[in-house]
Amino acid sequence: MSDSFSTLTIELTTGTGEVALDITDRCSAFLESVAPGRDGLLNVFVPHATAGIAVIETGAGSDEDLLALLRDLVPADDRWRHRHGSPGHGRDHVLPGLVAPHATLPVVGGQLALGIWQSVVLVDTNGDNPRRTVRLSFLG
C-alpha cells in the first residue's frame, strides 16, 4: 500500500487580504517526487473552515474576477450569524460551500492532466488567519 499512496502537508502564508494563490507548482513538485511516470489521482485538500481549492485560469484576471464574484455573492458585512473575528467574517465560513475545500485531479505519466489554462488555486478570503495548511495526496 505504501507504494500506491503518498501524502505531504505544506504550510502557506496567505496574508491579511483576500487571495487566490496559485499552488500548481507545489502540486507538480510533489508529483515529481512521489509519482514519476505514474498514473493516478492527486487530491488537494485544505483543512480549514474558511478556505477552498479552485481549478481556474490565473494571471489573466480570472483569479481576481473570482475574488470579486465572491465579494458580490457573499459580502463582508453584518448579515452573518457567525460573528466572531473581524467584521463580516461569517462570510468566510460559507466560502467552502461555494469553493470546495478539495479537488481531485488526474495524474498521467507523473504530471497533472490539467487543461492548458487551468491552475490549482487556494482561495482564502479570511484575513484573520494568514497561515494555511494544504494536504497533497497521490493515489496511483
What amino acid is encoded at 70 in this protein? L
What does the pLDDT look like over 27-86, one tens digit per residue? 999 999 999 999 999 999 999 999 999 999 998 999 999 999 999 999 989 888 887 888
What does the pLDDT look like over 88-128, one tens digit per residue? 888 999 999 999 999 999 999 999 999 999 999 999 999 99
Phi/psi for 139 (5° steps) reads -125, 120
Return the CA Rg of the chain: 16
Q: What is the pLDDT of residue 69?
A: 96
The pTM of this model reads 0.94
Measure the CA–CA gap between 63 and 36, rounded to whole angstroms. 30
- CATH 1.10.1070.11 matches 12-139: no
Domain boundaries, the chain: 12-139
First-to-final CA distance of the chain? 10
Q: What is the pLDDT of residue 1?
A: 45
